[in-house]
Chain A
Amino acid sequence: MVRQARSEATRRKIITSAVELFNEIGYPATGLGDIIERAQMTKGALYYHFDSKESLATAIIEEGTAHLVRAFRSITDSSAPALESIIHGVFVVTDLQSTDQIARSGTQLLRAFGEFNEAAARTYGGWLAEMTERTRQAIDEGDLRGELDPQAVGETILGSMLGAELLANATSAGADVLQRVTRMWKVLLPAIVSRESLAYFDEFLARESLRHSPASLAE
């Protein structure tokens, strides 16, 4: 038991150090030697847990994604109407991407490995399934227009969310991501929300955006 706990602590320390370095100097520039040095471990200890830099990246992608998906599900697993949960959930996930180091690093690695990493494919697939399911529910509830294809809407929301994060990182080191997410919803809502619900969701979005504004977060 003690041994297991110690081994888990070592693994944790390696992941934390790798996340720090990936966030500071980027994945390509980080060598395994840097990670060993930062974690104050031996090479053997690192190789015991991870056989390559990529397997370390995969672990970070999986853990970071798990944080984000858990946060999103904790919002959507409620009796609240699905579209409210989707919008609120996207804001909460976006917030977490800037405050949770592992989630942040996981998202960036996910992007870098998107094409040829199995964990990445699984992650996007999971997100898409979740988003599509909630979209379907929102159509049933009458907040989204009846003729929409849930999969197409789910993909558009997910794509816009990931894209907003990418653009914010590329242009402002992530500083304006919440404004971007607000703008994305502003454009998207009139295209997908039913006529009866649109006024309500305009207000819902305005309130959400206000609560996540830098001024209100600073309090």
Chain B
Amino acid sequence: MTEQLDKRADTTRLQILRAASRQFARKSYSLVSLDDILADAEVTKGAMYFHFRSKYALASAIIEYRAAVARASVDQLLARKLSGLETMIDISFFIALEDMGDETARAGLNLLASIGRTDGLQADILGQWVTAFAAIAGKAVKDGDIISDRDPEGIGSLLVSMYLGLRQTSNVAEPDRFLRDLEKMWALVLPGFVKHDRIDYLNQFIKRRTAVALKNAAPF
């Protein structure tokens, strides 16, 4: 019995999260009202307050939910056992595709930038990203792709900054432009830490991944 109740509560919670994601993916945090979300989710105010005390609590939940989903996807990419650098490139294109095509992904990244500064959520989640990328960069040093005296932590932090910056300067709602910009950025940063004789191959790899992503991009 309780299991069933839990399940129903979970469904409602997810329903609210999805509706809120649709709103936050399209409008900035301050422009979204709880009434919009209620109308979209088709739940009562009571049900909403049972799960989320405030708009802020709801937004934080989206950020956290999305971070967990992204972590699982990264684990899957790691399980493919490609080289470290190829894995980093694959992750960046994967995140770009999600950001372009998935409302929760877009909402999560939007919210991370707008409300994440308070109570350390941003530092926490971005810190996890940097650490994850740093670990993979460490592998790329072992693979012989990254110049051995480069600092993996610094590379991790550069790549995270690069992606978040790209969301501001390019347009994630325009897949063609966004993916081309991502491709260009990779080509620009590679010589900063990749061994000279590996660059041609990796540029080809990035070009091929851009082509696949352009084909698969499905904006919502």
Taking Cβ atoms with an 8 Å cutoff, the residues of A that contact B are 74-75, 78-81, 88, 92, 200, 203-204, 207, 210-211, 216, 219
Contact = CB atoms under 8 A, between A and B. Distances in A.
Interface string B60-93: 0000000000000000110111110000001000
A207 B80 contact: no
Given A75-B80, A88-B82, A219-B142, A80 B90 contact: yes
B18 to A, nearest CB: 24
A81 B82 CA distance: 13
Question: What's the dominant secondary structure at chain A's contact region?
Answer: helix
Interface in B199-220: 200-201, 204, 208, 212-213, 216
Contacts of A74: 76, 79-80
23 contacts: A74-B76, A74-B80, A75-B80, A75-B81, A78-B77, A78-B80, A79-B212, A80-B80, A80-B212, A81-B212, A88-B81, A88-B82, A92-B81, A200-B201, A200-B204, A200-B208, A203-B200, A203-B201, A207-B83, A210-B144, A211-B143, A216-B143, A219-B142
A211 to B, nearest CB: 6
Contacts of A204: 201
Nearest to B200: A203
A74 B78 CA distance: 11
Contacts of B83: 207, 211
Contacts of B76: 74
B81 A79 contact: no
Of listed B79, B80, B144, B216, residue having the most chain A CB within 10 A:
B80
